[in-house]
Every structure is written in structure tokens, then in C-alpha cells.
Chains A and B, each alone.
Chain A
Amino acid sequence: MRIFKDAGHLFRLAALFAAGTLLFFVIRGFVVPRSFGEYGHYRGAAIAEIAAHPIRFAGQGTCETCHADVAQAKSGGKHAQVHCEACHGPLAKHADDPSIDPGKPDTAALCVRCHAASAARPKDFPQVDAEQHAGGVACQTCHQPHSPAIGAASGGTK
């Protein structure tokens, strides 16, 4: 009764297959990141990595925690809905360390960026031809940027 007299070949083949399979799973364990497939066909940990990037714009809420006076002056005027950093630029570093001086924006370039007259802008948006309107006089001579209507209270000096 020697039907499987050469069964050794099969056993060796099976062992080789088992070893190969094991090797596949070992390598797979090394190369597939642990969080892959946590939420879908991607590395779940990537979400937390992207969320951990540092911020540059501190956000309106942060500005108002210290500069309540400016926020107050701004609240009644035409610029009430304009966030601080829309004109002053990204200031998260200044928010972290108030000793870093953010400097003052250059109104000569700043105001006309939004208010220079152009047929392309919405008709109801206030626009001026700066040269004709002021003839080279700086905007803040008449308009306080934080509350630009003429005669409005100053928006603080900070």
C-alpha cells in the first residue's frame, strides 16, 4: 500500500508555500502603516498629521481678547465685519508673543486694494479714484481705518 510513496514532495511544497505565506505577512506587516484602513483606503494617522500643522492667522477671536478697544471702535463702523488680520496680515506669532511688533500696514497700498474705483467691482461697494479723491493725501488723514466714516472715533492706537 504505497499510493503516496512520493508524498514527501507534496509536504515539502506545502512547507515552502506556508513559509512563503508567512514571509508575505511579515513583509506586509512591515510595509503597511498600522493606521492604513482605519477610516478607509488611506493612512488614518495622516489626518492627525495634517491637523497638527502650525497656524499663521491667529483668528479674530484671539485678537479681540487683548484689543477689545479696537474691536469696540470697529463694531459701530463700516469695517465692523472686516477681521483684523484682513488688513494687518497673519499675526499668530504676535498673539503667541505680544512683544513681537506686528508693524503698521501701509495705508497707501492697503486702502486702494479694496477701494480703488473699478468697473469690475460690485456697484454698491464704496470706491474712489484715489488721485482725484485725495490728490495724494494719505487716507488716514481724514478716515480712521477702524471706523472710516469722517469724524468717527479713533480705533485705538495699538
Chain B
Amino acid sequence: MTITRRQLLILLPAAAVAWESVLAGTPEASPNYTMTEHWWSMLIDIPKCIGCGNCVRACQAENDVPDGFFRTWVERYHVADWHLANPEVISPDGGEEGFPVAKEDQGKYFFVPKLCNQCADSPCTQVCPVGATFISPDGVVLVDQKYCLGCAYCVQACPYGCRYIHPQKKVADKCTLCYHRIRKGLTTACCEACPTGARQLADLKNPNDPIHAFLKTNSVQVLKPQMATGAKVFYNALDGSVR
């Protein structure tokens, strides 16, 4: 069978369209979940955090986080009376195995769990040159690891230091707010493992979510509000010394 030049010219675009649909595949159907009906965030209640490191270990177990990298970590602040603007901050192994015992001392101590702030106007998604990182319609900042080039612009752009280049995959990696869990109706691994309820997953579009009452009645702040990132991780009783 021979193909004339004319037939070839007609066949090529048709073949292109067919191949495209093969490449796209069939996305997994997720019944009972409409992305536009959710807007995920997290509430961190600092006075409840005891610095046990459960969240850090849970995150590593759930998400295969490589050694030495963290999608979430806990910092311990020690703010002495004489210098509020210069706190002593430690986070040994991200707080994975807890913290050294602190002796009664001048000043105050508190723990600050950190993770991706799931910014609504995220600097990391704005700098991606290929559209490999984005905010999903339900408000979670994700990385398309098949599309990421590993240029690390986003790692530099994140004002919270929440991104890293995966040492084996050589692509950007970060907290997904356990997107694979929340789509199944579960809470995140860190919230699941937190023994004191210091971390709470919240859906801002759900009018029955307790977050609304909490935001109304407490002094809540986001990290680096001056950056106008639209951060959606809310901290209750956040001290001014936290950066």
C-alpha cells in the first residue's frame, strides 16, 4: 500500500489529534467531589502545640519526604524579655524527634509548626516558566512533577522556604496539603497525627466548618502578611517575633 503526498498531508493532522488523546489518558473519576466547592486552608493553634514532632514524622511517612528535607517542620522560639525582635529559634531535624528539654528561664517559649501556606496569590506559581506549579480550583498549591524542569525558580520565590528540589527526582517538591487524602474525605497526615488538635484542616467554602467561628473570635494572623501572598495557613496567637 502506498500513500500519496496528498493522503499523507491529510493523515498527519488526524494522526496528531488521535495521538494527543492517547497521551492525555483518562483522568481518575472522583465522584461526590466538586473542586469549585472547596477552598482548603489550615489553622494552627500555637498555644496547643507541644512540640512532639508527630506532624513532621507523619508527613514524612505519608509523603515519602526525602531525608534532610521537610514539607512541614516545627520551630521552637525562645523570646527573652530584653530582645523581642531577636528570638532564639531552633528546629533540630525539623523537630522530627521533638526538642531538647528547656529549663525554666527568662522570656517565653512556644512552638511554631510550619508548612506550605497554600497562598491564593502565590509567588511560586507566578514565577514558574512552564506552568508546572499552580493553585488548584480547590485552593491547594501543587507541583506537576511530570512537567517540572527543576529550574528552582519557585524554590527561590517562596518567602516561607517551603519548597525544595527533590534530590532523586530533580523536580520541585512541597507540601500538597495531603491533596490525595483530602480528595478522599480524609484530613491531612499531620492533622491526623497531631495529638492536641494544634493543626486543623479547614475548608473556607464550607459554611459549617468550625474555622469561621474560630476566625471570628480569635486573634489570628498569617505569616509575612506584608508580602500579600494571600496565605491560607492561619496562626492563632502568633507572636510578633515569628518570621
Q: A-side interface residues toward B, CB under 8 Å?
A: 22, 25-26, 29-30, 33-36, 39-57, 59-60, 79, 81-83, 85-87, 89-90, 113-114, 116-122, 125
Judged by a CB distance under 8 angstroms, whether B23 is at the interface is yes
Closest to B187 in A: A59
> CB-CB < 8 A to B101: which residues of A?
116-120
Contact (Cβ within 8 A) A48 B147: no
Closest to A42 in B: B134
Contact (Cβ within 8 A) A122 B193: no
By the criterion of a CB under 8 Å from any partner CB, how many residues of chain B are at the interface?
63
Write 28 A-B pairs (CB below 8 A) sorted by A numbering. Answer: A26-B13, A26-B16, A29-B17, A29-B20, A30-B16, A30-B19, A33-B23, A34-B23, A44-B27, A47-B179, A48-B27, A48-B30, A51-B183, A54-B180, A55-B184, A55-B186, A57-B181, A59-B186, A79-B195, A81-B196, A86-B54, A90-B61, A113-B52, A114-B195, A119-B104, A120-B76, A122-B110, A125-B196
Complex-state Cα separation, A26 to B11, whole angstroms? 11
What number of residue pairs across chains A and B have CB atoms under 8 A from each other? 160
CB distance from A98 to the nearest CB of B (A): 19
> CB-CB < 8 A to A120: which residues of B?
51, 76, 78, 99, 101-102, 109-111
Complex-state Cα separation, A53 to B28, whole angstroms? 11
CB distance from B18 to the nearest CB of A (A): 10
Complex-state Cα separation, A12 to B19, whole angstroms? 31
Complex-state Cα separation, A41 to B126, whole angstroms? 10
Taking a contact as CB atoms closer than 8 A, the residue among A30, A40, A53, A114 that contacts B134 in the complex is A40
Complex-state Cα separation, A86 to B195, whole angstroms? 6
CB distance from B133 to the nearest CB of A (A): 8
